[in-house]
Structure 1
Amino acid sequence: MVTSATGPVRVVLVDDHEMVIEGLKAMLASFHQRVVVVGQSVGAEDALRVITDLEPDIVLCDIRMQGISGLDLCRSMRGLAPERKVVLLSVYDDEQYLFQALRVGASGYLLKSISSDELVRQLELVHGGSTAIDPDMAVRAVDTAARMQRDEFWPGARQGLTQRESEIMSFMVTGLSNRGIATRLIISDETVKSHLRSIYRKLGVSDRTTAVATALREGIFQ
Structure 2
Amino acid sequence: MSLGEKESGAWVCRRIRKSTSAVPILAMTAFSLDYYIKDASLSGAQGIVAKTDRAGMRHAIRTIASGGTWGPMFDTTTIAHIRLENQPTRKLLTGRESEAMNLAATGLRLRDVATRMNISESTVKTLIAKARSKLGATSLREAVAIWTGETDA
Q: Normalised by the shorter chain, which TM-score bucket?
A: 0.5 to 0.7
CA deviation vs aligned residue, 1:11-65 (integer Å, no higher than 9, x gap): xxxxxxxxxxxxxxxxxxxxxxxxxxxxxxxxxx536xxxxxxxxxxxxxxxxx8
Please give the secondary structure, in 1, of the residue aligned with 2:52. Answer: coil
**Contact 2:132–2:139 (CA under 8 A) maintained in structure 1:** yes
Q: CA RMSD in A?
A: 3.9
How many pairs are equivalent? 119
**Contact 1:165–1:195 (CA under 8 A) maintained in structure 2:** no
1:47-196 to structure 2, matched below 5 A, reads 66-115=5-54, 117-133=55-71, 161-162=101-102, 164-166=103-105, 171-172=109-110, 182=114, 185=115, 187-189=117-119, 193=123
TM-score by length of 2: 0.55
- Radius of gyration: which is bigger? 1
Unaligned runs of 5+ in 1: 1-44, 48-64, 142-159
Shift in alpha-carbon separation, 1:97–1:201, aligned structure 2, 3 A: farther
Identical amino acids, percent of aligned pairs: 13
1:193: Cα distance to partner?
3.8
**Contact 1:88–1:101 (CA under 8 A) maintained in structure 2:** yes
Paired with 2:51 and 2:125, the residues of 1 have a C-alpha distance of: 19
1:125: Cα distance to partner?
1.1
Shift in alpha-carbon separation, 1:80–1:114, aligned structure 2, 3 A: same
Paired with 1:192 and 1:124, the residues of 2 have a C-alpha distance of: 43
Shift in alpha-carbon separation, 1:72–1:200, aligned structure 2, 3 A: farther
Shift in alpha-carbon separation, 1:219–1:73, aligned structure 2, 3 A: closer
Paired with 1:132 and 1:195, the residues of 2 have a C-alpha distance of: 34
TM-score by length of 1: 0.41
Shift in alpha-carbon separation, 1:217–1:119, aligned structure 2, 3 A: closer
Paired with 1:191 and 1:119, the residues of 2 have a C-alpha distance of: 35
Please give the secondary structure, in 2, of the residue aligned with 1:89. Answer: strand
Moved over 4 A (4+): 199-202, 216-220
Please give the secondary structure, in 1, of the residue aligned with 2:25. Answer: strand
Paired with 2:19 and 2:29, the residues of 1 have a C-alpha distance of: 24
Specify which structure has the higher proportion of strand.
Answer: 1
**Contact 1:87–1:106 (CA under 8 A) maintained in structure 2:** yes
Larger RCO, structure (CA 8 Å, separation 6 or more)? 2
1:187: Cα distance to partner?
4.8
